[in-house]
A and B are shown apart, each in its own frame.
Chain A
Amino acid sequence: MFKGLINRFSFSFLIGFTILFLILPHFLPRFYIYFFSLIFVTGLLATSLNMVLGYGGMYQFHHAVFYGVGAYTFALMLIKTNLSPIFAFIAAPIASAIIGLIMGLICVRLSKLYFGMLQISLGSLVWAIVFRWYSFTGGDNGIHGIPIPSIISSTSKAYYFTFIITLISLIVMYMIVNSPFGRIFQAIRDNPERSEAIGVNVKRHQLIGLVIAAFFGGIAGTLFVVVEGSVFPDLMFWTFSLEILIMCLLGGWFTFLGPFLGASIIVTLRTVIGIYTEYWTLVLGIILMLLIFFLPEGVLGYFTEKYKGRFKTPIVNKE
């Protein structure tokens, strides 16, 4: 199945990292285990956004909605129903995908910037409903103390669970971006007009891409609940969406693992800087400005460019 997908070097790299992360919890204090889990969740979220952003060239400006919908669906299923938690795990990403489908049907006909702006707006509606529906979603307080199944509720168990699900999701996403679907998705990013001319139904392709990304965003949402044990409306606030976008930009959105790297950097910085100052967003803003001026291809993009000479072309056509 994986033959032809990755070379031997990347494969041993992957195995090495897997082993490292599997034994890590035995050596680290609890806070770090929690911290790594959070990185996995955020990394998965950023990677799922990048599927449509970096590979599909779509201006997915409100990806956090799918994260939040996944998280809320999972939490509400655990609290309000007596079904087995497995159903909650299955329902959450599907709910995200359905929201993705509805938003996609409305947005996808529009061109890039329109698409993004409308998506921010529609996503904000979802946020507003969650924010105000006190009786159901807990409103702006969110829901705390969600009864996570005991098999994954402790910090280290949650860590292992998060790690494994993230790993599987990443592999599946990697397969998708390297499949014929993914190839054509990239072609659409580079040149939608030409893609249409070689017989690709561009809008349908974009819609499917959006639904897939929303699905994985939903998985990240459930993992967040597993790690954190609570949900709150800020999970799907639009500024958070742009923060995920920054993660992709920081890591490099023309690479597969760049967004994951970017997410790790941002989560780490937020944790570290949060100790010293409450003005984290100020710092984030300044990081972002420097990034746009000096490293528009992102950290990983910069290095791949340096070593492969792959990105010599002008970035993405202007509208």
Chain B
Amino acid sequence: MLHVETLQKSFDGFMAVSDANLIVNKGEIIAVIGPNGAGKTTLFKLITGHLKPDNGKVYFKGENIVGLPPYKICKKGISLSFQIVNIFNRLTVFENVQVAILSYQKKSLNLFSPAKKLAIKETNEILENVGLIDKADNISGSLSHGDQKVLEIAIALGNHPELLILDEPTAGLSPEETSATIELIKRLNKDLGLTILFCEHDMDLVFAIADNIMVMQLGKTIIQGNSDEVRCNTEVQEAYLGGGSDT
């Protein structure tokens, strides 16, 4: 479904991503791992159009989407949930998800019908799904960090994506919140049939839920394969797993 070929991006001479390759098949959960600074977030932002790659191709459902602005890529069915909480601070939780749905339903230029009456069912469905329905009327800026991370995902779901990209969905969460989020990811994959691409630091977690793992180091893809293949790869062991690094 998603096919990334030799993607490159440098910032002021610093190669953040030098040779990224990735294949995502429909219905899979794919994890991208790699030490800090390996270029995971940059890779995601390149796929979703928030950054423009210097070189390389990104195919989504057979179509090259490199160079499109984020809003167009989103319309094609790719949603990104950000690493750093990136929500609409002054809107309520409900409104946060609702705007995403309104945008998906192409109602963004509707000037006169009251927004209060629109997309209520869809919004509540998503809020229920992620477990934020009780806090629907709270101002999102006043939520706890954990709830905001979940809201992040909920907003991304509002666009009815086929491919959901989660940039460190569990960063800064407590162990309980983390396991809840993992459950959520599994459920979204199973119940809604969403294809999910995410990156994560916790190795056990990655090996537990990912169908397929891509390892990045210094902006390069080392290997992509299932958990056994990745574990056995000597390069990965040297660079990452066996090195006893703190990540």
Contacts and interface: CB of A to CB of B under 8 A. Distances in A.
A198 B114 contact: no
Interface in A191-215: 191, 193-202, 205, 208, 212
Contacts of B103: 184, 198-200
* Band of interface residues on B: 35 or more
A197 B108 contact: no
B155 A194 contact: yes
A313 B155 contact: no
B142 A312 contact: yes
Contacts of B82: 194, 197
Interface in B96-121: 96, 98-100, 102-104, 107-118
Contact of B95 (A179, A183, A199): A183
B108 A175 contact: no
B179 interface: no
A178 B115 contact: yes
B110 A181 contact: yes
Contacts of B88: 186-187, 190-191, 194-195
A254 B139 CA distance: 14
B43 to A, nearest CB: 16
Contacts of A175: 111-112, 114
B184 interface: no
A29 interface: no
Contacts of B118: 180
B80 A197 contact: yes
Contacts of A317: 89
Given A179-B113, A310-B139, A197 B89 contact: no
Nearest to B104: A199
Contact of B159 (A191, A198, A205, A212): A198
B180 to A, nearest CB: 23
B67 interface: no
Contacts of A202: 71
Mostly helix, strand, loop or mixed at chain A's interface?
A: helix
A182 interface: yes
B90 A199 contact: no
B35 interface: no
Contacts of B111: 175-176, 179, 181, 212
Contact of A313 (B86, B90, B104, B113): B90
A317 B84 CA distance: 14
B182 interface: no
A187 B141 CA distance: 13
A311 B89 CA distance: 10
B69 interface: yes
Interface string A299-319: 000000000001111100100
Contacts of A312: 139, 141-142
Give the residue among A191, A196, A197, A208 with the most B Cβ atoms within 10 A. A197
Interface in A1-48: 3-5
Give the residue among A183, A208, A314 with the most B Cβ atoms within 10 A. A183
Contacts of A254: 90
B186 interface: no
A180 B117 CA distance: 10
A200 B48 CA distance: 13
Contacts of A311: 90, 139
B86 A5 contact: no
B99 A314 contact: no
Contacts of B114: 3-5, 175, 178-179
B130 to A, nearest CB: 16
Contacts of B136: none
A184 B71 contact: no
A120 B104 CA distance: 35
Contacts of B75: 199
A145 B110 CA distance: 41
A193 B111 CA distance: 22
Contact of A197 (B70, B104, B110, B117): B70
B99 A198 contact: yes
A310 B141 CA distance: 10
A294 B110 CA distance: 38
B133 interface: no
Closest 4 CB pairs of A and B: A313-B141, A199-B74, A190-B88, A198-B100
Interface of A: 3-5, 175-176, 178-184, 186-187, 189-191, 193-202, 205, 208, 212, 254, 310-314, 317
Given A191-B86, A191-B88, A201-B71, 6 more contacts: A179-B114, A184-B108, A193-B50, A197-B71, A198-B159, A199-B159
Interface of B: 48, 50, 69-71, 74-75, 79-80, 82, 86-91, 95-96, 98-100, 102-104, 107-118, 139, 141-142, 155-156, 158-159
